[in-house]
Amino acid sequence: MSGRPSAEDDHPVMKSGSPQSGEPFYNAIGKIRRTHGVHGELLMELLTDFPERFKTGIEVWIGDNHTPYTVSSFRLTGNGALIAFQGFDDCDKAVIFRNQMVYGKSEDAPRLPEGEYYQHEILGMRVVDEAGNNLGTVSEILTTGANDVYVVVNEEGSEMLLPAIKQVILSIDQSAKVITARPLEWD
């Protein structure tokens, strides 16, 4: 199945958090930069740690509307990957994908080792301290060079920043959707 991204998809807005009931959740796995050559290949920046998920014949979703397309070819390059889609066999047709986000369904994402989580699994989790006192809910995850930082918003709307390090994040109960944390104390 194929469709065309609309012009409004040129600058996609990333949506995070949990999906509404019945709605599939998509993870950004790449961003198409530009066409490459004359046969419909596109240069894509990889946003996944699992490039092996791209194979000929798989379905991916493009743009804010998550329009499905089937991959006709894929190969890694020194600075990303080259990808092409069925039905888009020349650069004039493929140019519509320029600057579009490429998504995969979260249910198709590879399983992570124990103790590692996808960001969408952390977003929306309740955070408590060691005594069980409610600190708030993870509303955003900031990616820094050293470690992620969880932005926790309490009922009054105040924010707390929790670095995702073992001295602060003591445990994550994925089934209960609860993070136990020891916030840093500043002197």
Cα–Cα distances (Å) from 116 to 5, 119, 120, 163, in that order, read 33, 10, 12, 15
Is pLDDT of 48 > 60?
yes
CA angle, 139 then 177 then 21, to 5°: 75
| Residue range 136-158: mean pLDDT, rounded | 91
Q: What is the pLDDT of residue 168?
A: 95
144 shares a domain with 104: no
Q: Tell me whether residue 156 is in a domain.
A: yes
Rounded to the nearest 5°, which phi and psi values hold at 2? Answer: -140, 155
**Which CATH number belongs to the domain containing residue 139 in this structure?**
2.30.30.240
Which of 10-19, 25-34, 72-81, 130-139 has maximum average pLDDT?
Answer: 130-139
Q: Tell me how far apart the alpha carbons of residues 10 and 8 are, in angstroms, rounded to a whole number.
A: 5
Domain that holds residue 64: 15-108
| Residue range 58-69: mean pLDDT, rounded | 92
Q: Tell me how far apart the alpha carbons of residues 61 and 103 are, in angstroms, rounded to a whole number.
A: 5
| Residue range 146-175: mean pLDDT, rounded | 93
**Which CATH number belongs to the domain containing residue 61 in this structure?**
2.40.30.60
For the chain, the domain total comes to: 2
Q: Tell me whether residue 123 is in a domain.
A: yes
